[in-house]
Amino acid sequence: MLKCLLGLLIITICGIGCASSVRQNEQSKTDSMWSLPKSNLNTLPGASYKTLTQVYDDYMLENRDVTLRDERLLTMKDVNTVFDNMPVYKTVKEWEERKQYLKEHILVSAGLWPMPDKTPLNPKYYHKIDHDDYVVETVTIETYPGFLLAGNLYHPKGKGPYPAILTPHGHFPFGRLNNDSINSIPARCITMARQGYVVFSYDMVGYNDTRQAPHNFGDDSISHLYGINLLGLQLWNSIRALDFLTSLPSIDTGRVGITGASGGGTQVFLLTAVDDRFNAAAPVNMVSNTMQGGDICENAPGLRRNTYNVEIAAMVAPKPLLLVSDTYDWTFNTRNTIMPRMKSFYQLYNAENRVKNAHYDYEHNYNKASRGAVYEFFGKWLLHENDVTKLREKPFVVDSDSNLLAFMNHRDADRIKTFEKLSTSQYHDAPKMDEKGLKALMKNMYATQLNQNWPKDKNTLEKFKTLYQTSINHLLDVSKPDAIDCKIMSSAKGKNFTVHQLLIARKDKNDWIPCTLYQPFSATNSTVIVTADEGKNYWVKEGLATPNDLIIKLLNQKCSVLAPDLFKQGEHILQDSTKTQRVENDKLFTTYNLTDRQEQIQDILTIIKAISQNNELSHTIDLYAVGNTGITGLLLASITSDLHRIVLDGNHFDATIDQNMLTLQVPGIMRIGGLKTVMALAANKRLLLYNANPSLKLPEVPEVSKLENNENNFSVKTDNIGVDQVIDFLKH
């Protein structure tokens, strides 16, 4: 029956041209709005259980036709995804707005939003070696109270002021002590100190002396739930390392550079993206559109869902930037693929001369040739020295491990072993805090921040919303689309209603959502979206040709009702043996892809946009969400103002249990206080949450609704409600 009606109408919304190929008997047109078929009711076939529950026709299913299936089920992004179709920015204003968004996004993904308090660094000096033309000292600083970051400070003799260089080391065996033909950190530090810089080389987590936590810190689901991840810890260490370096009295803070290779290169552009105290940057052998960094210290949940390293590295513009690349790693084609893109950012500022590429025919490295390019680059922009012969590397002798290490007795390349897992003969005087203690400190810090920012009056309400609305927007990482595609697959007539089978997607995204749209014969005054764990089939008793009592009553109240299969519900599911590249157990999956819950929230936003683009549907849009989708609706309510009234099933969700919170599939949600904060951000909505677990009956949230002057419209009930109560609230 559905197949014979496919030719009724197919409308493409808000765009130019068709979004995808369809069968010959389908027709499409392009417009800013879309319309429902103008069919004579007498000619429509009668509704059946099949027409109320099935959008894809039997022909499509039998032939495994996936032309109009959900692209998200077939593909995924990962560390090796090729980014070749990213947006181009036409004005400085447009790019600066994007930069602000990306800065927030990086900090939220790293668990650094709101930014932690900067506690005293308490620098401690351990060794000082006085050479003829430079000095090297071993230093530790407290980036968090009790957590020590170790490094070596190389500086000229004299009082300065000197330019400064911060240099993270990357994933080379011995970290800041690594000294071989592939990469010598001491070589670049000694050479630059001789040239007149103060240089701070510091550990990545798990390397050398910084072993209170291992290099797989935070690589578990509970840590991610609390926004605790290795990328965030290392980024915070880098921020505090810069605080230390720029606090030195010998530093000229107007001449500060940063350079590092591989994972150290990632630290370079992440730090320059969120901290504007740098004057020049040189990430070496890292910036690429084909590989984004394979270690967990380069990836955090949500970080690259809508961006890539080239765009992040470009955030330093218009300040001078050198990209060093080589032939035998992922930067092999930087000259042809990355530089034109990078120059387009600098052209916005008329500063194309400030971005440069140096390419070498080597394997992945930060070798002498690469160092030479960096010396010349920093010499030009920070020393104002154009005589490159004065910037050449001279022979050097590296100090012994015992003179460069703070706690370890000798180097150890195992970056997973913390002090407590090493033999006591391998270290001395190690700091007391361990990995467990660090995580506890971070969780306590987040809770303290939330308590300090919790709204107490109108003024603090606005600050709270500014901070935590930003957080939840980036954590969910969804948005109302600019345009949509809609395909009407068939229509039928029931008793006092018509029903249309729709496919709705974001424009050109192929994320098709199967939907059933019920309409009364009379004009409508609202459109109600109804969601359930089982999808649209939940609203129809098996074998019947009419929807259930709630939908009938809504139709009688002159409401249109749209029932979707949200992501991975009902007809979203692919046929058996359909090939998919979606690997959700990949350890970096959430760095590049939305979770199921986030995709379902995106689907509802797409549906809201579709409704708003139809002249025959009321743009007064309500939501009724039952089962687990009630919690999905609660998350949605915290980020959208497009819903008029919202009724949600709390599903007895206990928000005090971490394992329950994991089912939300929103990494970082506990960083901002979990559902307590979500509810506070939704406290200005006309919202009824029923079946609420007592953990959600939070006395602080109604107080927020009072500050919003909305206490009569926001309600949380621990008991169940009936169909008539749902209708009464929606039609109040």
CATH code at position 529 = 3.40.50.1820
Q: Are residues 21 and 146 part of one domain? A: no
Indicate if 433 and 492 belong to the same structural domain.
Answer: no
Per residue, the 3-state secondary structure of 628-653, as one string, reads CHHHHHHHHHCCCCCCCCEEEECCCC
529-550 pLDDT, tens digit each: 999 999 999 999 999 999 999 9
Position 8 pLDDT exceeds 60: no
Regarding whether 712 and 654 lie in a shared domain, the answer is: yes
Q: 156 to each of 151, 379, 642, how far by Cα in Å?
A: 17, 15, 61
Give pLDDT tens digits for 325-369: 999 999 999 999 999 999 999 999 999 999 999 999 999 999 999
- For the chain, the residue count is 732
Establish if 469 belongs to a structural domain.
no
Q: Which residue in this structure is represented by tokens 């999905």? A: 632
Q: Indicate whether 241 and 132 sit together in one domain.
A: yes
Considering the domain architecture, whether residues 42 and 101 belong to the same structural domain is answered as: no
H helices of 196-256, where?
221-225, 230-247
- Is there a domain that residue 450 lies in? no
Same-domain status, 274 and 182: yes
- Give the helix, strand, coil percentages of the chain, each rounded to 5: 35, 20, 45
Output the six-digit token pair for 323. Answer: 């990209």
Tens digit of pLDDT for each residue in 598-627? 999 999 999 999 999 999 999 999 999 999
pLDDT tens digits along 156-192: 999 989 999 999 999 999 999 999 999 999 999 999 9
Is 698 part of a structural domain of the chain? Answer: yes
Q: Which pLDDT score, from 0 to 100, does residue 174 have?
A: 97
Residues with Cβ within 8 Å of 481's Cβ and at least 6 positions away in sequence, in order, are 506, 507, 509, 605, 606, 609
Coil/strand/helix, residue 674: coil
Kind and range of the H or E element at 416?
Answer: none
- pLDDT for 13 equals 32
Residue 406 and residue 343 share a domain: yes
3-state secondary structure of 253: strand
Cα–Cα distance for residue pair 278/254, rounded to 1 Å: 8
Lowest mean pLDDT among 59-73, 308-322, 589-603: 59-73
For residue 635 the two structure tokens come to: 């998350």
Q: What is the pLDDT of residues 631-645, one digit of tens each?
A: 999 999 999 999 999
Residue 85 lies in a domain: no
**For position 5, what pLDDT does the model report?**
34
What's this model's pTM, rounded to 2 decimal places? 0.94
Question: Of 392, 425, 444, which one is at a domain's C-terminal end?
Answer: 444
pLDDT for the residue 9: 31
Q: What is the pLDDT of residue 82?
A: 95
Residue ranges making up the domain that contains 500? 3-67+478-571+589-730
Same domain? For 61 and 100 the reply is no
- Model confidence over 77-113: pLDDT tens digits? 999 999 988 899 999 999 999 999 999 999 999 999 9
Residues 179 and 275 in one domain: yes
Report pLDDT for 640: 97
Number of domains composing the chain:
2
What confidence tier does 32 reach under pLDDT thresholds 50, 70, 90?
low
Can you give the pLDDT at residue 279?
98
pLDDT band at 41 (very low <50, low <70, confident <90, very high): confident
- Please name the residue that has the structure tokens 């359930």: 532
Q: Do 132 and 275 share a domain, yes or no?
A: yes
Q: Has residue 75 been placed in a domain?
A: no
55 lies in some domain: yes
Q: Are residues 182 and 249 in the same domain?
A: yes
CA distances 542 to 451, 470, 520, 687, Å, are 49, 43, 22, 31
pLDDT digits (tens, 9 = 90+) for 448-477: 999 999 999 999 999 999 999 999 999 999
Q: Which of 402, 427, 444 is the last residue of a domain?
A: 444
3-state secondary structure of 129: strand
> For residue 28, is pLDDT > 60?
no
372 versus 578: the higher-pLDDT residue is: 372
Q: What is the DSSP letter of 584?
A: T
- How far is the C-alpha of 665 from the C-alpha of 153, rounded, in Å? 43
> Looking at the domain assignment, is residue 703 inside a domain?
yes
Q: Is residue 694 part of a domain?
A: yes
Concatenating the DSSP letter of every residue in 330-384 gives TTTTIIIIIHHHHHHHHHTTT-GGGEEEEEEEEES-B-HHHHHHHHHHHIIIII-
User: What is the overall mean pLDDT for the chain?
Assistant: 93
**Model pLDDT, residue 11:** 33
Nearest-5° Cα angle at 213, 208 to 219: 120
Direct distance between the N- and C-terminal alpha carbons of the chain, in angstroms, rounded to an integer: 39
pLDDT 10s digits, 282-325:
999 999 999 999 999 999 999 999 999 999 999 999 999 999 99
**Does 226 lie in the same domain as 361?**
yes
SS3 220: coil
Tokens of 293: 């960094």
